[in-house]
Amino acid sequence: MPAPPQPSEGPGAGARVVALDVARGLAILGTLATNIWIFTDPQGLVGYLGGGTDAAATPPGWRAVELLAQQLAQGKFLGLLTLMFGVGLELQRRSAAHTGRPWPGRYWVRALLLGLDGLLHYLLVAEFDVLMGYAVTAVVVAALLATSERAQRRWLVGAAAVHGALLALVTTALLTAASPDDVDPRLDPNPYADGSFGDLVLFRLENLALFRLEPVFIQALSIAAFLLGARLVRAGVLDDRGTRLRARLLALGAAALVADLALGLLGGTARLVLARYGTAPVVALGLLALVVEVVHRRSALGPLGRRLAEVGRTALSCYVLQNLLAAALCYGWGLGLATRLGPDLRVPGTLLLFALVAAAVVLAAHLWVRRAGRGPVEGLWRASARALGGR
């Protein structure tokens, strides 16, 4: 994803960029904490959406661990990642204004390349890609950031209201819908377990409309989150004058986390949907405030903070790498571990795979940043944008 340019003026500019890198790194690894359960399901995304293949056969103790681990990650880091895109857009707008460049200018070139990245990632790596949806949202919000504060506020409130209405309709429909007991959700043939790399590509092409429903459903939420991220930058959430604002966001996020865990752990598809798309984005606000506050209170980052910042500086590369590694480990075209982990081992095996993939990504980011300032995918993305006239 495009990293926001470093601000050229203002107090605390260096710390501000470090905080963004750390938050972005946390968001990237946090999405892996959500997606790893999809990779280790023998039926991939299809099985995961159905509540987990053979979930009933999982030992009760491990099932409790699985539900808690999933709910702690579910939607929070995706929400943080979405906010970070809005923050990055506002900083890019400021950079353009500072250097006298028109905004949004040819930003659509950058968004087009982001969408192309997303399409390739969807087809070749993971059908739950978010980049295509972000590319569409970025074009809309980039144009909105050129309007007045009042207009942006209206769009933010309107988009949030539209999302709230859609979420209410979906959750109501799920609560009142009858459960089809005679439907066998198992894939036959199963491209995740038995198919080749090409079979999975064809499977994603054939189910493009189905697998792209989520980005369409959350489009209004994404617009609102992008605009909110930009608005928070202007309100000072990233600098010294934002101490009180961060405290309020932390309190709001903590309260939302309690509600989120209650909804998710009570069970039921409707409650999970309400948590992922309702309370989780609010928790993300608290996460952003927490990261910025911790960075501001420290004179220097510790080892954990430095590793997260390195992942944040190579965010797009790490996002692709972690999904590619997980796919190679779990799917049939690779080691096929998803089908080798029986119900007794799936939860501890998934946690171990998350730790291994996360460690590999952190190490790769560390080694790469020591040699280059940005990730390889970021470098290719920026070079392509410049070649096409999008700065």
Average pLDDT estimate for 171-187: 72
Within 8 A by CB and 6+ apart from 244, the residues are none
**What CA–CA distances, in Å, run from 40 to 43, 74, 112, 211, 225?**
8, 16, 32, 18, 30
What is the rounded average pLDDT of the residues 374-390? 84
Backbone angles phi, psi at 10, to 5 degrees: 100, 150
Residue 38 has pLDDT above 60, yes or no: yes
**Position 154: which residue type?**
R
Residues 279-322: tens digit of each pLDDT: 999 999 999 999 999 999 888 899 999 999 999 999 999 999 99
pLDDT band per the 50, 70, 90 thresholds, residue 178 = low
Percent of the chain with pLDDT over 90: 76
pTM of the full predicted structure?
0.91
What is the pLDDT, as a whole number, of residue 321?
97
| pLDDT at position 31 over 60 | yes
Confidence band (pLDDT; 50, 70, 90) for 355?
very high
Residue 5 has pLDDT above 60, yes or no: no
Instruction: Determine the Cα–Cα distance for residues 40 and 327; give it in Å rounded to an integer.
Output: 9
Q: How confident is residue 185, by pLDDT bands cut at 50, 70 and 90?
A: low
pLDDT of residue 6: 36
**pLDDT, tens only, 232-251:** 999 999 988 899 999 999 99
Sequence spans of domains, the chain = 13-387
Contact of 345 with 62, CB cutoff 8 Å: no
Confidence tier at 188 by pLDDT (50, 70, 90): confident
Q: What is the pLDDT of residue 266?
A: 85
Q: How confident is the model at residue 75, as a pLDDT?
A: 94
